[in-house]
Structure 1
Amino acid sequence: MTATAAAAATLTARALLLDMDGTIVNSDAVVERCWRRWAAAQGLDGDAVMEVVHGRQGYATMALLLPDRPMELNHEDNRRMLAEETADVDGVVPVPGAPAFLAALAGLPHALVTSADRTLSRTRMEAAGLPLPELRITAESVSASKPDPEGFLKAAAELGFAPADCVVFEDSEAGIAAGRAAGMRVVGVGPRAAAHGPDVAVPDLTAVAVEAGPDGRIVLKIS
């Protein structure tokens, strides 16, 4: 099933797996500033770079853009970029509907699955005024970046649910591909998501209502 933002839908799940940037936190302003500086330093077109940065860990984006570059240089730049992004919270805000959405998940099985590291994820969630889920799968938790499904599969396993019982919330091409590769249904959030084949696409989280079902399932009503 593929639905648009205008089509109502109801999904049920045992657990929800949430991307951070672009899905519950709007950090686009910081990402633009940091990555356009990096693009300029590498002699790359900033607009072209911004087309592929979302969802992946930094080193994976660099390897995609500069395939002949030594990977150790990508990891070195990635460490520096993470420090820059952690220090810059100007313009970091919650995605519309995110505070109520996360409040509704209190006590229900869910996890954060992000390409950010522990420090950056904590910094951005705090800057946006959002609670940190108890389970967080960050860059340090995995050996492969999205679109590899490792992060989502690890989160499902740690929560104790089969992939088919999980629903992923994602905004990026890489993240949506990772969720689908994990065998999970995907709710695409925001302007980037609809073009990349999520099961349901919403403009933001105000279109998602969360209810606890009588059998312990999570009921998602998409408007």
Structure 2
Amino acid sequence: MRLTARAVLLDMDGTLINSDASVDRAWSRWAAENGVDPAAVLPHVHGRQAHATLAMLFPERPVERNLADNARMLVWETEDTEGIVPVAGAPAFLAALRDGGVPHALVTSADRALSKARMDAGGLAIPAAWITAESVSASKPDPEGFLLAAAELGVAPADCVVFEDADAGIRAAKAAGMQVVGVGPRAAELGPTVAVETLEQVRVAPGPDGGVELRIVS
């Protein structure tokens, strides 16, 4: 499988960084404080901002309360980097994009402080183009973040390939009119253009007309 593009857009959690343990600890703490069974929320918390998840799961909750809880959980997660490691193949993949001069951007539902803490914990450099929670008015699955990244890189949405692991992110990328590489065990059943188990399966090569070719190997 080969995909051609002019830019690559990268989700963070679950795509470049394995932060599942930190996310689960924050949401389990929230659940305990609010008398909610963690098992009822944990399957739904990946890929979007916390206030958007709360609005989806508990539509009767006031927006102000969701936003306040979102802010508290961001602090908890930023302070908790225990066990955070890069996804297999992520360091080499980012280096290949950088060394190949491929335009690329980080597009995450985390805010700047949290994304920096996690990328630093995983030993990964943040690309110059960096779209975070502060950059957008709507969380994934809204396509705003990916469209902003494409505009910042000066590339048409149809010429971007997105790397994502979560349902909300894959739906956002598809809504933006972009091809999607689903990364990891959660992604294969979510309708990406192609799925890989890890980023070790992706090769970066020069593409036609100055673009990039992404080769998916087994």
- Is the aligned partner of 1:67 residue 2:54? no
Q: In the TM superposition, what is the alpha-carbon distance from 1:47 to its structure 2 partner?
A: 2.0
| Matched residue, 1:20 | 12
Q: 2:157 aligns with which of 153, 158, 163?
A: 163
* Residues 81-96 of structure 1 mapped to structure 2, 5 A cutoff: 81-96=73-88
In structure 2, list runs of 5 or more residues that go unmatched: none
Note the C-alpha offset of 1:158. 0.9
Residue of 21, 34, 39 corresponding to 1:42: 34
May I ask how many residue pairs the two structures share in their alignment?
215
Deviations 1:115-141, CA, capped at 9 Å, x for gaps: 000111111001000011000000000
CA–CA separation in structure 2 for the residues paired with 1:117 and 1:103: 23
- TM-score for both structures, normalised by structure 2: 0.97
1:42 is displaced (CA, Å) by 2.2
Matched, 1:116 2:102: no
Q: RMSD between aligned alpha carbons?
A: 0.9
Per-residue CA distance 1:11-40 (angstroms, 9 max, x = gap): 010000000000000001100111111122
Per-residue CA deviation, residues 120-166 of structure 1 (Å, 9 max, x unaligned), is 11110010000110000000000000000000001001111111100
Q: Distance in 2 between matches of 1:62 and 1:83?
A: 17
Correspondence 1:1-223 to 2 at 5 A? 9-106=1-98, 107-213=101-207, 215-223=209-217
TM-score, L = length of structure 1: 0.94
Aligned-pair CA distance for 1:96: 0.2
The AA in structure 1 aligned to 2:171 is A
Alignment partners' CA distance in 2, 1:79 and 1:212 = 42
Secondary structure of 2:46's aligned partner: coil
Q: Which runs of 5+ in 1 are unaligned?
A: 1-8
Letter in 2 for 1:150: E
Q: Deviation of residue 43 (structure 1)?
A: 2.4
Structure 2 Cα separation of the partners of residues 187 and 83 of structure 1: 30
Q: Structure 1: which 4+ aligned runs deviate by more than 6 Å?
A: none
